[in-house]
Copies of this chain bind each other. A is one copy, B any other.
């Protein structure tokens, strides 16, 4: 069901709704409403209903949503009904922070490998991983079936590292380097740029009310 009109802001909010539904389920809550989700996500109830409407009809008028059902539907929509195998490329402090980051496994993201171009780092431990030399990347990606990678190398090395990942068969890259990556159309790149985050924040601060509501 490709849906060419879905804005990226909607996808971001669906991810938030899914986290909120998981929290509700852990709290033992069985049913919820667009009002409750909206309050917790800091958006309007209209926005919640509009975001969900891209993907069909959920819930019952007056009765709201069954938490377990809506959570399952959102997992399906977001492609989270299968586990994804993840690697880190670039084991500086940021790569190490990601290796230590809790909870990836809870959400079916399996962090399985970490690579660095510095031979001195090979063999060191980071989180539950042992750092491997970058030369091992192609073989290990194939062996482990790595689907996506955190790219945490300096901007000057980002394209070379991305090329190696793409050649090895990785189809998704979470790019922390402040560089636009040149990848084939079949490979997806999601940028996470701290400096860009500060700039978006500066924009909001000088132009309050100007931007879409960010979901925190």
Tell me the A residues contacting B by CB distance below 8 Å. 1-4, 6-9, 11-12, 14-16, 18-20, 40-42, 77-80, 84, 86, 92-94, 96-98, 100-101, 103-104, 107, 109, 147-148, 150, 171-175, 178-182, 186, 188-212, 214-216
Contact = CB atoms under 8 A, between A and B. Distances in A.
B103 A93 contact: no
A150 B195 CA distance: 11
A27 to B, nearest CB: 15
A107 to B, nearest CB: 6
B201 A107 contact: no
A100 B93 contact: yes
B9 A8 contact: yes
B12 A84 contact: no
Contacts of A94: 94, 97, 101
A192 B194 contact: yes
Contacts of A216: 175, 179-181, 189, 191
B203 A147 contact: no
Contacts of A191: 214-216
Q: Give the oligomeric copy count.
A: 2
B18 A148 contact: no
B180 A78 contact: no
Contact of A174 (B40, B147, B198): B198
Contacts of A190: 197, 200-201, 204, 214
8 contacts: A3-B210, A92-B97, A92-B100, A97-B97, A103-B178, A174-B194, A181-B216, A191-B214
Nearest to A189: B216
B15 A199 contact: yes
Given A188-B208, A199-B18, A9 B11 contact: no
A6 to B, nearest CB: 6
B180 A201 contact: no
- For A100, A190, A192, which residue has the most chain B Cβ atoms within 10 angstroms? A190
Contacts of A7: 7, 9, 212
A188 B174 contact: no
